[in-house]
Structure 1
Amino acid sequence: MGLDESYEEIVRMAKDGIVIIQDGVIAMVNPALQRMLGYEEEELVGRPVEDILFPTAIHLFEEGQSGLDWTNRNGTSYCAALESSDGRIVNVEFSASHFVLSGRPAVLGIVRDITKEVELEARVTESETKYRRLFDSSPIAYFTLSPRGNVLDVNNAAVNLLGYREDQILRRNLASFVPDESRTNIVQQVTSEVAQGKSLESFEMQLQRKDGRNVWVSVNANLVERGDGSDAIALMALDIDRRKLAEAREHEERARANLYLEVMTHDLNNINQSLLFSLGLLEANPEMPPQFKQHFRDSAWNVRRAARMIANLRTLMRLSTSPPPPQEIDLFGFLQSATAAAQEDFPWKTLEMTTNIEPGKFLIAGHEHIHDVFFNILHNSLTFDEADTVRVEVKAEVLDDLKSVRIEFTDHGPGIPDEAKEFIFRRTGCPDEQIVGRGLGLTLVEQIVRGLGGRIRAENAVEGDHTKGTRFIV
């Protein structure tokens, strides 16, 4: 063979495959290459090297061999594909160099099986392709940023969101897409939060499109590790511009409605006060015939009723826009003020109330509109009970180990039909004209109680007989 026996022994002990090619024919193979391809030595030695090359990849070997240079002692390395005895493709890294064997030129090849690496790389490439396809097809804008906020990658949705070409976005700082007035602070806030390992969720900010229009986005961002081991910021921007515009429009319309309501209620209250003053003067006139005085009293009552409805409407609007925060309050003071106010509306009646609510005994998480709860329930009893003396029992007790308070208001008026009880707290949807005529008082009560996390219902004062009065349970 021409190889010294000691060298030949070393070649045979090598773990990498070794082949010697002379004049295009395999002159020697070591056991490692035999095992790699599944051949015996005698099946390979003397055969053309093309016989062990995978047919569709012969060009890889030929291109690699053409790069061999006798002046380069380090040789050359390239990838090739061999064919095993059972027809499998064996991907190899072929390191080739020239040397002289028995006085003639030959090629020494070190063959390393890289099939597993190639398969792994193919799977990684496939996974990256799938990820990229998902990345680009997502309707949500994705940005990959450096820790300083420079754009490293974007998807198609981000391109559409900003209106720039991809090459016009990459390598620019995110701050260049933020409106001038908030540019520096916003980007610093995002990058500093995420750089500390915190996840940013539902952070609302504006980005500026190429056409100069600002668009609202909801941002989620977190720190990720890139393929090269460096840190990056993955930022997702959800377009919420339509939602923000709708919110702004709703806020504007609500403000306009509140303005109209404020003007209307203010003017109506002034008119009501003038009417009450005039009716009071007429009723007090000694020359007024007695048969007309009752009409004046009825008219004054209806004017006061209208004023109450206006006040309730204003409170409902206030609760829907800016409800006061709950705080610790004492029920006693609110019950006393509500009782006096309800009695004032009915000077021809007497409100006879019994209660176990005492100063400091029942404290709840509430606000000033608890007065409206007490007032409207008591006012309801005075309105519909035709007796001159209206009896109401108000009883409170602590429930659930001091976690809540139950209050019962029991009157002895005409009661509420069972089929109408579910409608009395709703201003609309009631089939009973009498219940509709109750105004906004009980609707307001339900809104206040529910806003404080409570519940309210109505039941018969006497079980099975709705004509014996009503019990409101808060």
Structure 2
Amino acid sequence: MCARVCRKALNNPSEVFVNRGQEELSKMSHTDKTKDQLLEELTKLHQRVVKLEAAEVEHQQVVEALRQAEEQYRSLVERASDAIIIIQNEKTVYRNPMYEKVLGYSVTETMDRSFLDFVVPEDRNLVKDYYYKRLEGKPTPREYEVRVMTRSGRLVTMEVKPDLIEYKGEPATMVVMRDITERKEAEEALRESEERFRSIFEKSRDAICLIDSEGRYLMVNDAMCELTGVSRDELVNKHYSTFMDKETHELMEQHWLQRKRGEPAPDRYEFKLIRTDGDIRIIDNVPTVIHFQDKPPLTLTILRDVTERRRMEDALESMRSKLLNLQESERSKISRVLHDTIGQNIGILDFNLATIVEILDETSLESISRLIDNMRNVIRETGDKLRDISSGLHPRLVQELGLVAGVRNLIDRFQGATWIEVHSSIQLDELQIDESVAVNLYRIVQEALTNIVKHSKCSSVLFEMAVDDGRLGVMVKDNGTGFSLEDVSQRDIEQRGMGLFIMEERAKAIDGRLQIHSEPDQGTKVQVEVYLNA
């Protein structure tokens, strides 16, 4: 009875209490109550009616709020970027549009079919086991991964989050599913990349290490252990400055800060590494900064021991210098022989012919004078040519009077032989430098002028020689045809000739720096610079 009244009151509370009021009045008619008592009870009854009407309004508001919440929830589910399904008795009784979009199946194609039909065979038993354990109240993962097959035959990996709900008065499972196929593929690609990196890292013959922002080793390979003479366990967490002197450490810190700030810094340089046994090795260093979004940057460094190569290069450089000096020495000897012996003999021949002319009588002189004059002209031309050859073999003027005098003489002879105008600017009168430096600089200028005659087709040459800040600079520039340095550098040495190669070797022999600038139709400029204290 009470339950029926309550349900009726919820549906129409005013009607219930009006009827109840009438019942009370009917009862009062059989009692001897005063008028005041009746009015008091009617007032209480009215108040109860007002409260029930207010409750009715509140009930309607709750119902409306529930309806709106359901609409918002449905709208949220329908528009969700995740696939959402509701399963009862293994059947999919609800699916949102995203589920259909991901799998490619329409509602009719999935209706009355088990949700397991779309799970790959390898995962079905596991998914089914979780499904029934969850219904039985047993513990199961809050989320896990499952592979499903789409209508097009594409294999998709889904991250699923199941939960028990009540749907239409019956227990059901609501599953929120997210397509993580791309993420899984990216993770797999990353895993493969990491495996390749680790394989290269471990098997590399070069030393490789990963250094944190504090300068401590995080990872090292076997080659790094061999290079430093320290085991892997000892190296990890050790500061990289352990294996270098203070000056080298300060230089590397400066490069690190430059790279960290994004400023230009050498991407390859050499330094001296001090092994634990005291042996000093020359290392070719290639560092790379690895940046992360929310972590401090790391430095990946590849180190190669070039000590033996540097020793061989130094030995080769020393040999090259010795060969050039030996060449100059042999040229000097040949030049001296030509000048002192053959030159003197030619002079004697010329003198003897002049003596013959003096002692011949007029009759004999008249018959052979033309022949003697021709012979003396040949002797003089031979002498001039011999002096040129001697000077070309060895610049005695440089040896005796210095580089400035030798270069001035070279330019004068160049203008006399070629008629090419030379604008010369030599901003010094005397220069005290080592003879080998002077001879090699002279040879470089000589080779540059020779190349101008052979190739440039120029009308004028600019020559400059000056000392600036302890450095001697020489420049030879023409206004000729020029050439492509890139094309020439790609040719074999036989095709490009020995001129440029010889100039480079002579510059190296005196620790100088040679620069050649040329472009087609833009002329050629040869510059060489050497420190005077070298």
TM-score (norm 1): 0.49
TM-score (norm 2): 0.45
Larger radius of gyration: 2
